Amino acid sequence: MIESQFIIIQQILTLVTLILGGALIIFIYDAYKVVKQPTLLYFTIGLFTLVIGIVLPDIVQIFGPELSVVYWGEVASRILEIIGIGVMNFSVLRG
């Protein structure tokens, strides 16, 4: 009972994260279209990668609750998060 409630809360929080992250990505991309500064485009790509990395374990758990699938979802999540933060750092340092 408690486990199913935890899964539902986790899925709701995943959806909220995707919506807020997507909104922020759209706002930054709209700013890029106005000023045409490549730094904002790199930052948008990094943020997109970061948001996907954050929600990946929850998405993987929905489709494949097997332990090995969840484990590799966590590993892929961390890799995407590192790449996303790296691209965002690159964009800030480049700008």
- The stretch 54-61 carries a mean pLDDT of 90
Tally of domains within the chain: 1
Domain carrying residue 56: 2-94
Confidence of residue 63 (pLDDT cuts 50, 70, 90): confident
Q: What's this model's pTM, rounded to 2 decimal places?
A: 0.87
| Cβ density class 47-65: b for 16+ within 10 Å, e for less | bbbbbbbbbbbbebbeeee
Query: Three-state DSSP class for 86?
Result: helix
Instruction: Tell whether the model's pLDDT for residue 82 goes beyond 80.
Output: yes
Q: What is the Cα–Cα distance from 54 to 80, expressed in whole angstroms?
A: 8
> Is the pLDDT score of 78 beyond 90?
yes
pLDDT of 52 reads 96
Confidence at residue 28, expressed as pLDDT on a 0 to 100 scale: 94
Residue 94 has pLDDT above 90, yes or no: no
CA 62 to chain centre: 16
Across the range 1-5, mean pLDDT stands at 77
pLDDT of residue 89: 96
